[in-house]
């Protein structure tokens, strides 16, 4: 039986994607950088470029993203695309990030252009900032200080629930009428971080505030959390784009592809409510 390879299968997008594909009867092979613990897992280390041939053997289609914490995404992902081509993979769904196509010299755009030119059927999905950042990357500040502290001012972002990204990826892997197209994925409404804090406060009963800080103030905290310096600087750069308003735009791609409206921030907050209360 042909397989669908999911890279990042244990992550925020990959895990629900695996569940959705299996619910639809798709045979899934889960790629992991750790030692495989289950029969459906295969070892694949994108940083060391180990395990590519085994991962793609017998694979018909694949979902691909870059592991977090790396700024050289093209060096990690282009060899994966080439391995897929070499093994006769028919289609790749690649996840990058909204705005990646604005700079042809950026690593993510180089990856997109390589995929577009390699001769495989493809889709590129570019999600906006994840709602799930508030129950993961920004959780420490909410837990300890009841504060979302970011250098973004009053700018708005059309945050998207990662489960909607997974739903889009599953749909694109199951259909071919939208092949060879790219989609920017957003939530339905753009919110600033004051509004986010108010929603989280209302849902949890906590008094959560937003504090606008400078990149200079934020950087030591990123380094203390273990981020490599180049990735910390990259994060601060894309947060500066947020502050300039580049994350405010909304699209109808989730509705168009899945037939369902994207989840609201209130829906997201209610689902993850326990994360902020633990």
* pLDDT tens by residue, 98-119: 999 999 999 999 999 999 999 9
Share of the chain above pLDDT 70, in %: 100
What is the average per-residue pLDDT within 174-186? 97
Mean pLDDT calculated for residue range 209-226: 96
Q: How far apart are CA 219 and CA 228, in angstroms?
A: 11
**89: confidence class by pLDDT, cuts 50, 70, 90:** very high
pLDDT of residue 1: 53
Q: Is residue 179 exposed (0-12), middle (13-18) or buried (19+ Cβ within 10 Å)?
A: middle
CATH for 129-159+186-248+261-278 (3.40.640.10, 3.30.365.10, 3.90.25.10, 3.40.50.300)? 3.90.25.10
Residue 278 has a pLDDT of 84
8 A C-beta contact, residue 271 and residue 205: no
Per-residue pLDDT for 20 more than 80? yes
Specify the fold of 3-127. Answer: Rossmann fold (3.40.50)
- Compute the C-alpha angle 8/59/56, nearest 5°: 65
Domain ranges of the chain: 3-127, 129-159+186-248+261-278
Enter the tokens of residue 16: 């629900």
Distances (CA, A) of 197 to 129, 136, 149, 211, 267: 16, 15, 11, 10, 14
Q: Tens of pLDDT along 41-88?
A: 999 999 999 999 999 999 999 999 999 999 999 999 999 999 999 999
Q: Does position 2 have pLDDT exceeding 90, yes or no?
A: no
pLDDT in tens, 111-159: 999 999 999 999 999 999 999 999 999 999 999 999 999 999 999 999 9
End-to-end CA, the chain: 43
DSSP string computed for 126-189: EE-SBGGGGGTTTHHHHHHHSEEEES-TT-EE--B-HHHHHHHHHHHHH--TTTTEEEEE--SS
Locate 210 and state its tokens: 């937003």
Six-digit token pair at 49?
A: 């470029």
CA distance 98 to 233: 18
Mean pLDDT of the chain: 97
CB 222 within 8 A of CB 155: no
> Could you give the dihedral angle defined by the CA atoms of residues 67, 95, 14 and 8, in that order, rounded to the nearest 10 degrees?
-30
Count of alpha carbons within 13 Å of 115, Cβ hemisphere only? 34
The region, left, alpha or beta by phi > 0 then psi within -120 to 50, assigned to residue 63 is beta
Helical axes 107-117 vs 73-86, angle rounded to 10°: 20
């Amino acid at each position: 039986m042909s397989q669908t390879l999911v890279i990042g299968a244990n992550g925020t997008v990959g895990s629900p994607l695996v569940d959705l594909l299996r619910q639809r009867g798709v045979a899934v092979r889960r790629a992991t950088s750790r030692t495989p613990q289950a029969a459906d897992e295969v070892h694949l280390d994108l940083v060391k470029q180990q395990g590519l041939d085994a991962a793609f053997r017998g694979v018909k289609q694949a979902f691909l993203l870059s592991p977090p914490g790396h700024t050289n995404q093209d060096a990690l992902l282009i060899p994966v695309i080439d391995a897929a081509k070499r093994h006769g993979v028919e289609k790749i769904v690649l996840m990058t990030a909204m705005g990646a196509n604005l700079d042809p010299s950026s690593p993510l755009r180089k990856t997109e252009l390589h995929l577009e030119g390699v001769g495989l059927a493809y889709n590129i999905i570019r999600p906006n900032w994840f709602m799930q950042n508030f129950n993961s990357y920004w959780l420490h500040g909410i837990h300890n200080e009841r504060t979302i502290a970011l250098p973004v001012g009053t700018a708005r972002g059309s945050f998207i629930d990662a489960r909607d990204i997974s739903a889009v990826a599953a749909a694109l892997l199951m259909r071919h009428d939208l092949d060879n197209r790219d989609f920017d994925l957003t939530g339905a409404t753009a919110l600033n971080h004051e509004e986010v804090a108010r929603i989280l406060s209302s849902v949890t009963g906590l008094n959560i505030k937003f504090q606008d800080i400078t990149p200079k103030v934020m950087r030591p905290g990123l380094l203390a959390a273990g981020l490599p310096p180049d990735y910390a600087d990259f994060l601060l750069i894309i947060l500066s784009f947020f502050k300039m308003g580049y994350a405010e735009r909304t699209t109808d791609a989730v509705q168009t592809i899945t037939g369902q409206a994207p989840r609201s921030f209130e829906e997201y907050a209610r689902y993850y409510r326990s994360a902020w209360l633990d």
